Amino acid sequence: MNYWPLLGVAAVVLGFVLRLNPALVVVAAGFVTGLSAGLSPLDVLDVIGKGFAEKRFLLLFLLTLPVIGLLERHGLKEHAQRWIARLRGATLGRLLIAYLLMRQLASAVGLTSLGGHPQTVRPLLAPMAEGAAESRHGALDADQRERIRAMAAGTDNVGLFFGEDIFIAFGAVLLIQSFFAEHGLQLDPLQIALWGIPTAICAFAIHVVRILRFERRLTRQRAAAADLEPGAPPA
């Protein structure tokens, strides 16, 4: 086995350690790998060009990241927190449960890119969850904020993971079909997707319970902190 192409991995690590331009690091690592594998510079350029042409749809995702960063810089989080705080019936639990339902349903029909950590959880869902918790329980400490953010991220994960298994064109469904086919069991993707529905329902119910327990625990913590404040009336 030729181990020389692994020099490309070392080039990536070295470039990021030196904090060089990521695009230049990746291209340079590609050339290092290609040349180490015996390809000519023109062959390496051909491979990079084909990869760019075939995966150009990823540019739509990459372009959203600067936009989200610009919105955050101009107060997206603060506006989201103030907006959710003005809604009387909005609570931390209701917000996360509604997002979980939306995320699962959207993923079940293949719309997996409607949510996500960088484009939805960090700039919108987590600040809105913090704002809902503050409007109901008062000021939050650093540990509580981190736990709310973690719960928001976990809610997105659960909704996506168990929702996309219902979509018949999802890669995991096709992988399951091929696995059973190799062992002599012929199953249609639709059959596999339909059997993912009970699992998705159970995952939804279990995570709803986790969200409600998390909110009750937060309520108890805030009540205990209020009792310990100097001058607070006895409970």
Q: Which of 91-95, 123-127, 160-164, 203-207 is least confident? A: 123-127
For the chain, what are the domain ranges? 4-54, 65-228
How does residue 152 score in pLDDT terms, banded at 50, 70 and 90?
very high
**Is the pLDDT reported for residue 218 higher than 60?**
yes
**Is the pLDDT reported for residue 222 higher than 90?**
no
Residue that has been written with the tokens 């020099």 in this structure:
7
Q: Is the pTM of this model over 0.85?
A: no
Residue that has been written with the tokens 């904090």 in this structure:
19
pLDDT (tens digit per residue) in 95-115: 999 999 999 999 888 888 788
Percent of the chain at pLDDT > 70 equals 78
Residue 78 CA, chain-centre distance (Å), reads 21
Alpha helices, DSSP H only, in the chain? 7-17, 22-36, 41-54, 58-73, 76-85, 92-108, 126-137, 142-164, 171-182, 189-228
Nearest to 132 by CA among 83, 79, 73, 62: 83
d(CA 133, CA 128): 9
Residue that has been written with the tokens 């699992």 in this structure:
199
